[in-house]
Structure 1
Amino acid sequence: MMISYNRTLYYLLLLLMMSGCGGGGGVNVAERPAPDTGILVFVRDGNRLMTIRPDGTQEQEIPLTNAPSRLFDPVWNTKRTQIAFSGGPDSFETELYLVNRRGGEPQRLTNHPSYDGTPCWDVEGESLSWVTSKGNRGRQEVGEEVWLLPLIQGAVQQLTSDAIIAQTPTRSPKNELVYTNHKGELRLWNGNNTSRALGANGNQAAWSPDGTRIAFIQNGDVWTMRISDGTVAQVTNTPAQEEATPSWSPDSTQLSFAAKGNLYLVVAMGGTPQVLLSTGRDSFPNWTRK
């Protein structure tokens, strides 16, 4: 089934989750899984960066000064010292920012009149891939592609040119890049502005730390795809709610995701999602080692 995907739908679903809107029922809540290594960063109330351990302990805020009014897509670097995110007055006019894990004033990385978002780190933590319209189309989504932003040295460069609308890039442990195009296809970037379809449709892709699988959202549920043979598997089945922004545990055995303003953990092979936070105010979880 072909899935049409765009940024408006992406952020609309996330706003619905923040407000707790949607059908009744939801996830069957069970006991939390045993503590795992790592720590999650997430957004609360749309404008606060928070962290929490996967066993539900040590929840705390990362204090920010002079930060944008709305925050989106926080993601740890591989050294676990910095967090990149996008922010702005709304989801159409955002820039990329970088902040130390202990907080402070975020460093602004881009300066475009329209959209810059969904950053992902390279393995070395020396550059960011992100989606940008480069200010060419104002508030329109057409023309968004994946670009590379070196943080130490080098020039900004465009990576994709076939997407029309590109979204949510993700990197493998070998720095391979996957993104979603305007048809909802998951595509592997081959270099030289070319890519190939992976045989699955979805969005908000996240590559597992062990490099073997990609998690993604399809029809509001979490799915995974095995890279070696393209086998897809459904992880969640929750008709009453829309899941978003899956993120892997450091050992590639669990996934976190957001739904209706709550955060959940689930075994990557499938099972009953476990509630991590049930505030109705949280979104964009991203998991890394402590």
Structure 2
Amino acid sequence: MLALPLLVLLATDAPAGPVAPRQVTPRQVTTAATGHVLANRDCWSADSRWLLYDLRTDETVFDGRRIERVEVDSGRVETLYEAPATAACGVPTGRGERVVFLRSPAEPTPDWAYAPWHRFGMTARRGERPTVLDARDLAPPLTPGALRGGTHLHTVSPDGRRVASTYEDHLLATGTGLPENRRVVAVTWPERRVAVSADHPRDQDGGFTVVATAVTDEPTPGSDEIARAYSDAWLPDSRRIAFFGEVRGAGGEAFSEVFVVDLPDEPTAAPGRPLEGTPTTRPNPPAGARQTRLTFIGAEPNPGVAASPRHWPVSSPAGEIAFLRRDADDRLRFCLVDRRGGPIRWLTNGRIEPTSAFTWSPDGARLAFVGDGSVCTVDVASGRVDRLTPPAEPGPTHHACVFSPDGTQIAYMQRVGAYDQLFVVDAATSGPEGEAR
């Protein structure tokens, strides 16, 4: 059994204009001699007072022992969760009164060490002890609502009812002669608990969890079939999730496009397609899940969405999805597409290329990102970029650039000595002649 402590929960480049600088003073929020890593979004408390983070030395190393939060104005730090001595935790996000984060297996063994198909989510509300987020069942008979592997990077839907994540499958990753293990998007109903028979030592009870996207080992060239689904982000209606799907071009080349999956209200199995799959087949999406391709960039000189920097197709409050792609001159630019599909709109001209993930302002008017060593925002109506912090070396990291829920601050990370520290900057921008607007 997991020993779970009580959680203290969170109560332009412009196509037609210049890059506008303004003099601001970024404020360092953390100072402890340890790593501090923000998730790419949903790391602020609802009242914009606190930041959630973990203590990994770097996002590529899963070695954090605690989930913490810091009060931005005072610098006061609270520990929300401490992992067992043989485990690690990280990537916390929150929505309302729910916090979710990632855990590695405790007491790892050679056949059950940290891996994408061995990690799992944890969740809690105010005053609760954290519980396992996603149920897991590894031995027949498999259990509907329990998957057979690991989840990662959990985000709560805007209405608080469901949690999205990526998923990889232990049975397929470690078996032979089976379909390939491929990353997909999963969805958990955390209040709908699933009890597992514990026929395997790594089985665990948890929330009702299903895969939401369909993949295939060999997508038909030129079709909408995908080999993997990744970088998921909720749409504002809490019924749909945007994600990147890896397709095959007419010549068999691999690249990714923007997709959306519509979710049913309740997860029930389609005839002949058990949610849990079988020991030799993948889990299946629930009946009513509908996967739709929004972009068709395969014929361009640089097909598909940009592979780097790592980013997510996040949506504005109005349902406009932002993503990055390279133009014919190989410049990295912001693009927008409606949640229902349609033409792609180029937003920036590529003079300042994004080097980080990005987030929307709560009013949907701007995107925050790191570019050219600065925290920047781009005005969605005009495409004008404002540089909020002066270029620095080392500058803000590529991990995160996150608007606060009240729209007044942007949080980011920057290396100070040997450690990544958390910073915030005023999100107000300057007008065409430099005056605040």
TM-score by length of 1: 0.66
- Count matched residues: 253
Choose which of 191, 194, 214 in structure 2 pairs with 1:152: 191
For residue 125 of structure 1, report the CA deviation from its aligned partner: 0.4
Instruction: Work out whether residues 50 and 59 of structure 1, in 8 Å CA contact, stay in contact via their aligned partners in 2.
Output: no
Q: 1:240/1:122 Cα in 2 relative to 1: closer, same or farther (>3 Å)?
A: closer
Instruction: Work out whether residues 243 and 259 of structure 1, in 8 Å CA contact, stay in contact via their aligned partners in 2.
Output: yes
Report which of the two has the higher share of strand: 1
For residue 128 of structure 1, report the CA deviation from its aligned partner: 0.5
Instruction: Work out whether residues 234 and 241 of structure 2, in 8 Å CA contact, stay in contact via their aligned partners in 1.
Output: yes
1:225 and 1:105 mapped to 2: Cα distance?
40
- The unaligned stretches of length 5 or more in structure 1 are 1-26
Q: 1:258/1:42 Cα in 2 relative to 1: closer, same or farther (>3 Å)?
A: farther
Structure number with bigger Rg = 2
2:172 and 2:89 mapped to 1: Cα distance?
22
| Pairing 1:73-152 to 2, within 5 Å after superposition | 74-77=92-95, 79=96, 81-88=97-104, 92=116, 93-98=118-123, 106-110=130-134, 115-138=150-173, 142-152=181-191
Q: 1:100/1:233 Cα in 2 relative to 1: closer, same or farther (>3 Å)?
A: farther
Give secondary structure in 2 for the equivalent of 1:218: strand
Task: Report what 2:405 is aligned to.
Answer: 289
| Pairing 1:1-290 to 2, within 5 Å after superposition | 30-32=22-24, 38=48, 41-42=52-53, 45-46=57-58, 47=64, 57=73, 61-63=77-79, 64-66=81-83, 69=88, 71-72=90-91, 74-77=92-95, 79=96, 81-88=97-104, 92=116, 93-98=118-123, 106-110=130-134, 115-138=150-173, 142-153=181-192, 155-162=208-215, 163-175=226-238, 176-183=240-247, 184-191=256-263, 192-199=288-295, 201-202=304-305, 204-208=312-316, 210-218=317-325, 222-227=334-339, 229-235=342-348, 237=350, 242-244=355-357, 246-257=358-369, 264-269=375-380, 270=383, 271-275=385-389, 283-289=399-405
For residue 187 of structure 1, report the CA deviation from its aligned partner: 0.5
2:74 and 2:349 mapped to 1: Cα distance?
27
For residue 96 of structure 1, report the CA deviation from its aligned partner: 1.5
- The unaligned stretches of length 5 or more in structure 2 are 1-18, 27-46, 59-63, 105-112, 137-147, 194-207, 216-225, 248-255, 264-287, 297-303, 306-310, 327-331, 407-437
Instruction: Work out whether residues 142 and 165 of structure 1, in 8 Å CA contact, stay in contact via their aligned partners in 2.
Output: no
Instruction: Work out whether residues 258 and 283 of structure 1, in 8 Å CA contact, stay in contact via their aligned partners in 2.
Output: no
2:405 and 2:173 mapped to 1: Cα distance?
38
For residue 282 of structure 1, report the CA deviation from its aligned partner: 7.7
2:89 and 2:184 mapped to 1: Cα distance?
22
For residue 132 of structure 1, report the CA deviation from its aligned partner: 0.6
Q: Deviations over 1:38-59 (max 9, x none)?
A: 4654556443656679xx8555
Q: 1:173/1:106 Cα in 2 relative to 1: closer, same or farther (>3 Å)?
A: same
1:86 and 1:224 mapped to 2: Cα distance?
30
